[in-house]
Amino acid sequence: MASGLAPAGAGGLAVDGALALTQVEFVVVDVETTGWSPAEARITEIGAVKLRAGRVTGEFSTLVDPAMPIPPDIEALTGISSQMVSAAPSAAEVLPAWLRFTDGCVLTAHNAPFDLGFLRAACGACGLPWPAFTVLDTVAVARQALVQGEVPDCKLATLAAFFEAPAAPRHRALADARATAAVLDVLITRLALLGIRTLDEVGEWLAVP
């Protein structure tokens, strides 16, 4: 996903690349986890926002029982405790509904390899096939769309503040997905000003060093 826009799987794009960005339905996703590697940690919360033409058309949010303790440093970061997730549904219960929510959409995340790494691993552990998503990483888009020196970095909190997003990220999945959706909406406007109006054009633009 180095380019920031990636078709996943040999089955082709889930979304027509010739579609105007204003016609594409995006699902912006964020996960909270028990750690930093999907090989050792598990998902504790999934949040997702469905967005088309700048309008939110749906939201998905749930805690997830990771079936393992949440380390104290992670609890301090997210505010999610082992007690909070003890009665939450398992990943096997949650993921089919999440996959239905994302069907036919461009899957989007801020630093997508992290969130999608956990989601893909969780699907694999549950025996669920990973769909042929088209994936857009807002970090990659921001790095190329913003003028050098415009922001000190491309962290989600930095971009959300710079773009005056109505939702501030706070290490909770739905709040961070809402913030990322707001950032995506501004970035799509930036892309239009650059003459980039379709998914195919985004891919070509991101591929240029």
Position 91, amino acid: A
The helix/strand/coil state of 112 is: helix
Position 45, amino acid: E
Active site (annotated) includes residue 110:
no
**Side-chain-facing half-sphere of 1: CA atoms under 13 Å:** 24
**For the chain, how many residues are written?**
209
Neighbour count for residue 148 (Cβ, 10 Å) = 6
The one catalytic residue among 171, 172, 190, 197: 171
Cα 196 to Cα 198: distance, rounded to the nearest angstrom:
6
Contacts of 133 (CB under 8 A, 6+ apart): 7, 8, 9, 14, 102, 106, 107
Cα 31 to Cα 48: distance, rounded to the nearest angstrom:
9
CA 148 from chain center: how many Å?
Answer: 24
Cα 185 to Cα 187: distance, rounded to the nearest angstrom:
5
Backbone angles phi, psi at 72, to 5 degrees: -55, -40
Catalytic residues, by residue number, are 171
